[in-house]
Homo-oligomer: A and B are copies of this chain.
Amino acid sequence: MRDVPGAARPGGKKESDITESTPRTVRELGEFALIARMNAGRSPGPGVLLGPGDDAAVIAAPADRYVVSTDMLIQGRHFRLDWSGPRDIGAKAIAQNAADVVAMGAVPSAFVVALGCPGDTPVRFVDGLVEGMWAEARRAGASIAGGDVVSSPLLVLSVTAFGDPGRPPVLRSGASESDIVAVAGRLGHSAAGLELLTADADRERFADLVAAHRIPRPPYEAVRDLPDTTAVTSMTDVSDGLLADLAHLADASGVAIDVDAAAVADPALRPAADALGADPLTWALTGGEDHAFAATFRAGTPLPPGWRGIGRVRSGTGVFVDGDRWPGPLGWESFTGGE
């Protein structure tokens, strides 16, 4: 509310004031009461100069510029209601957008959320979505500045994330020959979790992998805490799969990337892979939605905390594993991939 005199903002009520005799569905509650409920008791962070309640929100841009990313999640496509609870879905929607902003070297400042849902959606389900979104927004150091709620035959969440560039934006196009390729965060855990859910096998035994699929945990702090002096030359988040995303980065930079399979292999994936008869290296190399960060650092740079070296930038084009082309798909692609 700072700086905007006379602003009206819902949210004066405490959650406890409005949960008595809660209507069962969003249709019974109605659009405007639902929006008031979603905002009740929530205080946008200091970067949000004007939160929900007007035609638009107002967000601070101390660096004279801001970073923006948008992603849409569709029921049955990006999540399944029998596999994920509302908190999981809300957190995932925020996490994957926050990761895009952080992958530019920026600090998340705010999110806006458009939600489409059927009229018979339980109000408690929306409560869970909002809980999950706020929890992940806070984890990313930001808050939710507003949004839109519409009626839709299936659940759709569209999130737009904003960030303040601390340093000049770290692009995909800055890698050059002999740079170190490094990763922060888990690889292949989400893919393993998805395969466990699909096979309906060993979900309890490998609960951590299933959880990794339900809610990605981007290691925001590994980017936030990069020393200013660290020569990071390019960066991306791993959303489609490590090889697919490194291929985009290599293409943008006009270089080739060679990945060291042994450095990517994760012993934590082995037991689940054995149980399913799957290849854990394929999960780590091509599995999407972990929202780890992949970056290149100038040769000789000591890798900062949270980062591990997994390969080298070479001259040429494309992405290699131990010097060879990877024989299968590099990762996920909408429409053609997995449909």
Residues of A near any B CB (own CB < 8 A)? 3-8, 26-27, 29-32, 34, 49-50, 53-74, 76-78, 99-101, 103-104, 106, 110, 112-116, 119, 145-154, 156, 158, 160-163, 165, 168-169, 171-174, 235-237, 252-253, 333-337, 339
Contacts and interface: CB of A to CB of B under 8 A. Distances in A.
A152 B156 contact: yes
A339 B150 CA distance: 11
5 contacts: A55-B235, A57-B67, A70-B148, A72-B148, A72-B156
B168 A116 contact: no
Q: Which of A61, A172, A335 has the most CB of B within 10 A?
A: A335
Contacts of A114: 70-72, 158
Chain A contact residues: over half helix, strand or loop, or mixed? Answer: mixed
Nearest to A103: B55
Given A70-B114, A171-B54, A65 B77 contact: no
Q: Which of A64, A70, A333, A336 has the most CB of B within 10 A?
A: A70
A253 B72 CA distance: 35
A339 B66 contact: no
A247 to B, nearest CB: 10
A104 B334 CA distance: 36
A335 B31 contact: yes
Contacts of A173: 6-8, 54
Contacts of A156: 72, 74, 116, 152, 156, 158
Nearest to A53: B252
Given A68-B162, A119-B339, A58 B104 contact: yes
A27 B338 CA distance: 11
Contact of A104 (B26, B55, B106, B110): B55
A226 B50 CA distance: 23
Contacts of A77: 150-153
B148 A56 contact: no
A111 to B, nearest CB: 10
A98 to B, nearest CB: 10
Contacts of A103: 55-56
A115 to B, nearest CB: 8
A242 B180 CA distance: 60
Given A55-B103, A59-B65, A333-B32, A74 B169 contact: no
A65 B145 CA distance: 13
Given A152-B156, A154-B154, A173-B7, A68 B59 contact: yes
Q: Which of A114, A151, A158, A163 has the most CB of B within 10 A?
A: A158
Given A5-B168, A68-B112, A70-B158, 7 more contacts: A6-B171, A8-B172, A55-B172, A69-B112, A70-B148, A76-B153, A78-B150
Given A65-B60, A104-B58, A336-B31, A150 B70 contact: no
A37 to B, nearest CB: 13
